[in-house]
Each structure stands twice: as structure tokens, then as C-alpha cells.
Amino acid sequence: MLSARKVMQISQIIPVISVQSVEEALRLAEALMLGGVNIFEITLRTACALDAIKAVAHEFPEAMTGAGTVLNADQFQRVEDMGARFAISPGLTHELAYYKNSIPLLPGVATASEIMKGLEYGYDAFKLFPANIVGGVEAIKAFGAPFRDVVFCPTGGVNAGNAKEYLALENVLCVGGSWIVPTKLIQEQNFKEITKITQEALLALR
């Protein structure tokens, strides 16, 4: 079974995507792939999200299509049924932790206690959320000493200005963010500019 760590190692950036139509999702996925990112977190924040996951997973089988904002076991099962290859949650509940699914879950944490609870459940890879509000780079540095085998994907307030600082930490495998998929550009259908932003973001992280 694919692990959350393996998912986190696919790209330094996991774009956090919220789309208003299936067509929008397909064009956005294509733009990101042209820019060099072949992993997508399509969040369950819009009415078309499940259909978008299904369409992108089918149209781009070579990419890693995942679901974000997965809050319960029912959603966890539904995103897998739609073709998602991983799921991301803003937190971790008993229900999610023990739900038997064949795709990996990257649960969110914000505190040491939540990390410890996640370790009890058998997880060692987490999304730190909302990263900048709960301490950002300094928090992840501090977590490194007591939780030496834990890795993070900080999400929430991550942008072009601080992504490199996060990724310089040994316990950060990738970052999640929406700065490479600006809502304004999506609304304008300016997907060429999104490809350009993605290329520039990856170049800046080298």
C-alpha cells in the first residue's frame, strides 16, 4: 500500500485546489502538470469536488490525484470510490484513524498532544495546519526534538516567501498551498499564467 510519506515525496509542493466545475479542474490539472507538478489535493469544499476528483483521476492517470478536507469515514470512502489515491484531513478523529481504507491518509495536527495521539493511532506523517498560525517554522523545529521520526507537510499560510524556509527543515517533506493556483487566475481562466507561476515556484525551491 502507498504510504503518506511516499505521497509527500512526490513533489515539494502539493497544490491545494478548490474548483467550481469539472472543466476548471481538468484545465487546472493540465496547467500544473505543464508547470512540473503532478500531484493535486482537490478539496471537498465545493459541490463539484467529487466529480472533479473522478474526472482528473481518469484523465490524468499518470498524476497523483488526492482529496482534501476529508472530515469523516463516509467522505474517506467516497473519495476513494472516485479515484483519489490519497486523502488529507485538517485533523484526526477516532473514526478516521480506524477506518479501513486502501489509500493513505495524511491527517492534520496543530499541537504536541495531537501528534502524540496520531502516533498512538499508528501515524508518523502529518499535515501541520494551520501552519503559520500554530507557530510555523519555529513550531516544526521544536517538534523535531521530541518527535524525531515524524515528518510534516505544513499547510496554511505557506507561500512563495516562506516555502523554502519550511522545506529547509529535515522533518518537512513538502508544503501544501494555494499560492500557485490563485483564485483570480482560475476565474479569469488564465491557466498559462498558472503554469508559469508553478515553474517559477519550483525553480525558486532548487
C-alpha 77/C-alpha 84 separation (Å) is 10
Candidates 24, 54, 80, 127; catalytic one = 127
Note if 114 is an active site residue: no
Question: In 65-156, which residue ranges form alpha helices assigned H by DSSP?
Answer: 73-81, 94-98, 112-120, 136-144
C-alpha 178/C-alpha 198 separation (Å) is 11
CB 56 within 8 A of CB 26: yes
3-state SS track over 54-79 = HHHHHHCCCCEEEEECCCCHHHHHHH
C-alpha 78/C-alpha 75 separation (Å) is 5
Indicate the DSSP class of residue 39.
E
Could you tell me the three cell numbers for 49?
469536488
Candidates 24, 41, 54, 80; catalytic one = 41
CB 96 within 8 A of CB 107: yes
Note if 41 is an active site residue: yes
Which residues are tagged catalytic? 41, 127
